[in-house]
Protein backbone atom coordinates (compact mmCIF):
# COMPACT_ATOMS: atom_id res chain seq x y z
CA UNK A 1 0.00 0.00 0.00
CA UNK A 2 1.39 3.40 -0.99
CA UNK A 3 1.23 5.91 1.83
CA UNK A 4 2.12 9.57 1.42
CA UNK A 5 3.68 11.82 4.06
CA UNK A 6 1.45 13.55 6.59
CA UNK A 7 1.94 16.89 4.82
CA UNK A 8 1.10 15.62 1.32
CA UNK A 9 -1.52 17.64 -0.62
CA UNK A 10 -3.99 14.74 -0.46
CA UNK A 11 -3.70 14.50 3.32
CA UNK A 12 -4.08 18.28 3.70
CA UNK A 13 -7.24 18.08 1.60
CA UNK A 14 -8.56 15.26 3.78
CA UNK A 15 -7.90 17.17 6.99
CA UNK A 16 -9.40 20.37 5.60
CA UNK A 17 -12.51 18.54 4.40
CA UNK A 18 -12.98 16.78 7.72
CA UNK A 19 -12.38 19.97 9.71
CA UNK A 20 -15.11 21.85 7.86
CA UNK A 21 -17.44 18.86 8.17
CA UNK A 22 -16.89 18.76 11.94
CA UNK A 23 -17.51 22.49 12.23
CA UNK A 24 -20.76 22.17 10.33
CA UNK A 25 -21.79 19.18 12.43
CA UNK A 26 -21.31 21.24 15.59
CA UNK A 27 -23.72 23.92 14.36
CA UNK A 28 -26.33 21.41 13.18
CA UNK A 29 -26.28 19.40 16.40
CA UNK A 30 -26.50 22.60 18.44
CA UNK A 31 -29.54 23.64 16.37
CA UNK A 32 -31.10 20.20 16.82
CA UNK A 33 -30.57 20.51 20.57
CA UNK A 34 -32.61 23.70 20.57
CA UNK A 35 -35.48 21.92 18.78
CA UNK A 36 -35.42 18.76 20.88
CA UNK A 37 -38.75 17.96 22.56
CA UNK A 38 -37.33 17.09 25.99
CA UNK A 39 -34.66 18.39 28.35
CA UNK A 40 -32.96 14.99 28.23
CA UNK A 41 -32.69 15.15 24.44
CA UNK A 42 -31.51 18.76 24.55
CA UNK A 43 -28.72 17.85 26.95
CA UNK A 44 -27.60 14.80 24.98
CA UNK A 45 -27.47 16.68 21.68
CA UNK A 46 -25.66 19.61 23.31
CA UNK A 47 -23.02 17.19 24.58
CA UNK A 48 -22.64 15.69 21.11
CA UNK A 49 -22.26 19.18 19.62
CA UNK A 50 -19.52 19.98 22.15
CA UNK A 51 -17.66 16.82 21.12
CA UNK A 52 -17.79 17.88 17.46
CA UNK A 53 -16.37 21.30 18.32
CA UNK A 54 -13.50 19.59 20.14
CA UNK A 55 -12.84 17.41 17.09
CA UNK A 56 -12.80 20.50 14.89
CA UNK A 57 -10.22 22.14 17.15
CA UNK A 58 -8.05 19.02 17.07
CA UNK A 59 -7.99 19.13 13.27
CA UNK A 60 -7.24 22.85 13.24
CA UNK A 61 -4.31 22.26 15.58
CA UNK A 62 -2.95 19.50 13.36
CA UNK A 63 -3.16 21.64 10.23
CA UNK A 64 -1.31 24.43 12.01
CA UNK A 65 1.36 21.93 13.13
CA UNK A 66 1.85 21.07 9.46
CA UNK A 67 2.29 24.76 8.63
CA UNK A 68 -1.06 25.02 6.86
CA UNK A 69 -3.63 27.77 7.38
CA UNK A 70 -6.79 25.92 8.51
CA UNK A 71 -9.10 28.37 6.73
CA UNK A 72 -7.24 27.88 3.46
CA UNK A 73 -7.40 24.11 3.87
CA UNK A 74 -11.16 24.19 4.51
CA UNK A 75 -12.15 26.77 1.89
CA UNK A 76 -12.28 24.41 -1.15
CA UNK A 77 -14.91 22.33 0.63
CA UNK A 78 -17.21 25.08 1.87
CA UNK A 79 -19.20 25.31 -1.37
CA UNK A 80 -19.65 21.55 -1.96
CA UNK A 81 -20.63 20.73 1.63
CA UNK A 82 -22.93 23.73 1.97
CA UNK A 83 -24.59 22.78 -1.33
CA UNK A 84 -25.18 19.23 -0.09
CA UNK A 85 -26.76 20.46 3.11
CA UNK A 86 -28.92 22.92 1.17
CA UNK A 87 -30.22 20.10 -1.05
CA UNK A 88 -30.98 17.90 1.96
CA UNK A 89 -32.68 20.36 4.27
CA UNK A 90 -34.71 18.36 6.84
CA UNK A 91 -38.40 19.16 7.24
CA UNK A 92 -38.67 17.89 10.79
CA UNK A 93 -36.59 17.13 13.87
CA UNK A 94 -36.72 13.39 13.14
CA UNK A 95 -35.57 13.94 9.56
CA UNK A 96 -32.67 15.96 10.94
CA UNK A 97 -31.69 13.07 13.23
CA UNK A 98 -31.86 10.59 10.35
CA UNK A 99 -29.68 12.90 8.28
CA UNK A 100 -27.15 13.08 11.09
CA UNK A 101 -26.98 9.30 11.36
CA UNK A 102 -27.16 8.29 7.71
CA UNK A 103 -25.47 11.20 5.93
CA UNK A 104 -22.67 11.72 8.41
CA UNK A 105 -22.32 7.97 8.83
CA UNK A 106 -21.49 7.56 5.15
CA UNK A 107 -19.19 10.59 5.31
CA UNK A 108 -17.41 9.02 8.27
CA UNK A 109 -16.92 5.78 6.35
CA UNK A 110 -15.42 7.83 3.51
CA UNK A 111 -12.99 9.65 5.82
CA UNK A 112 -11.88 6.37 7.39
CA UNK A 113 -11.23 4.76 4.01
CA UNK A 114 -9.24 7.79 2.88
CA UNK A 115 -7.23 7.94 6.13
CA UNK A 116 -6.40 4.23 5.82
CA UNK A 117 -4.42 5.15 2.70
CA UNK A 118 -2.52 7.98 4.41
CA UNK A 119 0.33 7.93 6.93
CA UNK A 120 -0.07 6.35 10.35
CA UNK A 121 -0.29 9.66 12.22
CA UNK A 122 -3.09 10.91 9.98
CA UNK A 123 -4.88 7.58 10.25
CA UNK A 124 -4.73 7.68 14.06
CA UNK A 125 -5.91 11.30 14.15
CA UNK A 126 -8.89 10.68 11.87
CA UNK A 127 -9.91 7.53 13.74
CA UNK A 128 -9.84 9.52 16.98
CA UNK A 129 -11.92 12.36 15.55
CA UNK A 130 -14.48 9.89 14.20
CA UNK A 131 -14.60 7.78 17.35
CA UNK A 132 -18.20 7.08 18.38
CA UNK A 133 -19.43 9.58 20.97
CA UNK A 134 -22.86 8.08 21.56
CA UNK A 135 -24.52 9.83 18.62
CA UNK A 136 -25.43 6.60 16.82
CA UNK A 137 -27.09 5.14 19.91
CA UNK A 138 -29.01 8.32 20.67
CA UNK A 139 -30.32 8.74 17.12
CA UNK A 140 -31.19 5.09 16.55
CA UNK A 141 -33.01 4.78 19.87
CA UNK A 142 -34.90 8.05 19.37
CA UNK A 143 -36.00 7.29 15.80
CA UNK A 144 -36.90 3.69 16.64
CA UNK A 145 -39.07 4.84 19.55
CA UNK A 146 -40.85 7.39 17.33
CA UNK A 147 -41.52 4.78 14.63
CA UNK A 148 -42.87 2.31 17.19
CA UNK A 149 -45.21 5.01 18.48
CA UNK A 150 -46.30 6.04 14.96
CA UNK A 151 -45.57 3.31 12.37
CA UNK A 152 -46.63 5.60 9.53
CA UNK A 153 -43.35 7.47 9.98
CA UNK A 154 -41.32 4.47 8.83
CA UNK A 155 -42.06 4.79 5.10
CA UNK A 156 -41.36 8.50 4.92
CA UNK A 157 -38.15 8.29 6.93
CA UNK A 158 -36.93 5.28 4.90
CA UNK A 159 -37.40 7.23 1.66
CA UNK A 160 -35.60 10.19 3.21
CA UNK A 161 -32.68 7.96 4.21
CA UNK A 162 -32.38 6.56 0.68
CA UNK A 163 -32.34 10.07 -0.76
CA UNK A 164 -29.59 11.06 1.67
CA UNK A 165 -27.42 8.14 0.58
CA UNK A 166 -27.72 9.05 -3.09
CA UNK A 167 -27.00 12.72 -2.47
CA UNK A 168 -24.06 11.96 -0.18
CA UNK A 169 -22.38 9.60 -2.65
CA UNK A 170 -22.92 12.00 -5.54
CA UNK A 171 -21.46 14.94 -3.64
CA UNK A 172 -18.50 12.97 -2.33
CA UNK A 173 -17.61 11.80 -5.82
CA UNK A 174 -17.83 15.38 -7.11
CA UNK A 175 -15.47 16.55 -4.36
CA UNK A 176 -12.97 13.80 -5.14
CA UNK A 177 -13.00 14.57 -8.86
CA UNK A 178 -12.56 18.31 -8.19
CA UNK A 179 -9.58 17.67 -5.88
CA UNK A 180 -7.10 15.49 -7.84
CA UNK A 181 -4.69 15.18 -4.90
CA UNK A 182 -7.46 13.79 -2.71
CA UNK A 183 -8.58 11.49 -5.53
CA UNK A 184 -5.00 10.25 -5.93
CA UNK A 185 -4.84 9.47 -2.21
CA UNK A 186 -8.09 7.51 -2.46
CA UNK A 187 -6.66 5.56 -5.38
CA UNK A 188 -3.48 4.68 -3.45
CA UNK A 189 -1.54 6.52 -6.14
CA UNK A 190 0.10 9.83 -5.12
CA UNK A 191 1.00 10.70 -8.71
CA UNK A 192 -0.97 13.31 -10.60
CA UNK A 193 -0.72 13.71 -14.34
CA UNK A 194 0.08 16.97 -16.11
CA UNK A 195 -3.57 17.77 -16.74
CA UNK A 196 -4.32 17.48 -13.01
CA UNK A 197 -6.12 14.14 -13.28
CA UNK A 198 -4.94 11.27 -11.09
CA UNK A 199 -3.40 8.34 -12.90
CA UNK A 200 -6.10 5.70 -12.94
CA UNK A 201 -7.70 7.09 -9.80
CA UNK A 202 -11.22 7.83 -11.02
CA UNK A 203 -12.10 4.16 -11.46
CA UNK A 204 -10.60 3.33 -8.08
CA UNK A 205 -12.48 6.20 -6.49
CA UNK A 206 -15.74 4.96 -8.02
CA UNK A 207 -15.14 1.48 -6.61
CA UNK A 208 -14.39 2.92 -3.20
CA UNK A 209 -17.60 4.95 -3.15
CA UNK A 210 -19.63 1.93 -4.21
CA UNK A 211 -18.43 0.17 -1.06
CA UNK A 212 -19.67 2.98 1.21
CA UNK A 213 -23.23 1.66 1.14
CA UNK A 214 -22.19 -1.55 2.90
CA UNK A 215 -23.24 -0.32 6.34
CA UNK A 216 -26.38 1.51 5.19
CA UNK A 217 -28.77 -1.38 5.79
CA UNK A 218 -27.42 -1.84 9.31
CA UNK A 219 -28.03 1.83 10.08
CA UNK A 220 -31.59 1.65 8.80
CA UNK A 221 -32.26 -1.49 10.82
CA UNK A 222 -30.92 0.19 13.96
CA UNK A 223 -33.49 2.96 13.49
CA UNK A 224 -36.34 0.54 12.82
CA UNK A 225 -36.46 1.49 9.13
CA UNK A 226 -36.36 -0.66 6.01
CA UNK A 227 -33.91 -0.49 3.14
Report yes or no on 179 lying in a domain.
Answer: yes
Report yes or no on 102 lying in a domain.
Answer: yes
How many structural domains compose the chain?
Answer: 1
Report yes or no on 101 lying in a domain.
Answer: yes
pLDDT digits (tens, 9 = 90+) for 31-84: 999 999 999 999 999 999 999 999 999 999 999 999 999 999 999 999 999 999
Whether the Cβ atoms of residue 64 and residue 70 lie closer than 8 Å to each other: yes
Q: Which of 16-20, 22-26, 104-108, 137-141 has the lowest mean pLDDT?
A: 104-108
Owning domain of residue 76: 9-222
What average pLDDT does range 137-154 have in this prediction?
93
What average pLDDT does range 15-42 have in this prediction?
94
Among 85, 86, 59, smallest CA distance to 70 is for: 59
pLDDT of 227: 60
Report yes or no on 133 lying in a domain.
Answer: yes
CATH assignment of the domain containing 94: 1.20.1260.10
pLDDT digits (tens, 9 = 90+) for 88-129: 999 999 999 999 898 888 888 888 888 888 899 999 999 999
Report yes or no on 3 lying in a domain.
Answer: no
Report yes or no on 2 lying in a domain.
Answer: no
Report yes or no on 1 lying in a domain.
Answer: no
Report yes or no on 122 lying in a domain.
Answer: yes
pLDDT of 193: 42
Give buried/exposed letters for 130-151 (b at 16+ CB in 10 A, else e): beeeebbebbbebbbebbeeee
* 183: DSSP letter: H
pTM (2 decimals)? 0.86
Q: Does pLDDT of 195 surpass 60? A: no
Amino acid sequence: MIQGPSDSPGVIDLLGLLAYAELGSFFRLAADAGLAPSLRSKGQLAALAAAEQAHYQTLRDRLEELGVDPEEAMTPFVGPLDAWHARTEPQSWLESLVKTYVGEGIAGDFYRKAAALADEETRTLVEGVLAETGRAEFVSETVRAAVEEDPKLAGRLSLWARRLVGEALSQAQSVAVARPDLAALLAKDPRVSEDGTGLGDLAAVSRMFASLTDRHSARLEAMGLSA
